[in-house]
Structure 1
Amino acid sequence: MAISKTQAIFQQKCPRCHEGHLFEHPTYSFGYQKMHTNCPVCGLRYEIEPGFFWGGMYFSYALNVAQSVILGFATYFIFGNPTAWVYLTIIIGGIFVFMPLNFRLGRVFMLHLFGSIDYDPKYSKGKILKPAANQ
């Protein structure tokens, strides 16, 4: 059974087969940024062109801003407008905690939304046709 595009994004799966993992290591590990060059299931080359994932930084930045705003409002409502140091500590701490996840989701959003790669069920496990490495 195939998963939806939204599930593939949040589970960090290949945009073509929705089965292969994009990253080699778990999110909160020392190798969190290491991506597979090609999908381990369907062979899709993830980096469509040199520098493709630079655009993922914009997604990461947007996630950081949204999380910082949410943490700021949460701090205000939980602690009743504390000093600036409390805001800074909580927001900067949140940025460091979410950094690996934001990095990954930035790349995943970039690949799924701007990679021009559609889901194709013929590339799922058991039906692999081993395509050319570049698409």
Structure 2
Amino acid sequence: MNKVREYCPKCKLKYHIEPSFYTGSMYVSYGVGIAVAVAAYVLTLIFGLDFGPTGIMLSIVAALLITMSYIGAVSKSIWAHFFLKYNPEIAKKVSNDSRT
């Protein structure tokens, strides 16, 4: 369950660079989560919703719970892009390849 392949079947890119490679995405996830929390707070202010401190906190928690899987995926993608670079030649080969 929730297994990631070792290599891309088309371009042979190794997904597991080191055992704790995606641990850094937790730090990125923290920043993205803070951005979502601030956005939820600002939206409550813009729409003039007077929830009080408890209501605002609950709306922020609700926003974080709703976007939790998205935050995780985006954080892993941002962290991976620090280390993996796009190569148009490989992309062209992969798009012309009929395997998988």
**Paired residue secondary structure (1:79):** coil
Aligned residue identity for 1:69: V
Partner of 1:123: 90
Partner of 1:52: 21
Partner of 2:39: 70
How far off its partner does 1:88 sit? 1.5
Task: Give me the TM-score of the superposition, normalised by structure 2.
Answer: 0.80
Q: What are the residue-to-residue correspondences of 1:91-106 with 2, within 5 Å?
A: 91-106=60-75
Is there any run of 5+ residues in structure 2 with no aligned partner, and where? none
Count of residues in Structure 1 that have an aligned counterpart in Structure 2: 95
Structure in which a larger fraction of residues adopt helix: 2
Q: Which has the larger radius of gyration?
A: 2
Task: Give me the TM-score of the superposition, normalised by structure 1.
Answer: 0.61
> 1:35-84 CA distances to partner (integer Å, 9 max, x unpaired)?
33322331101121110100000111100001101101111221344311
Aligned-CA RMSD value: 2.2
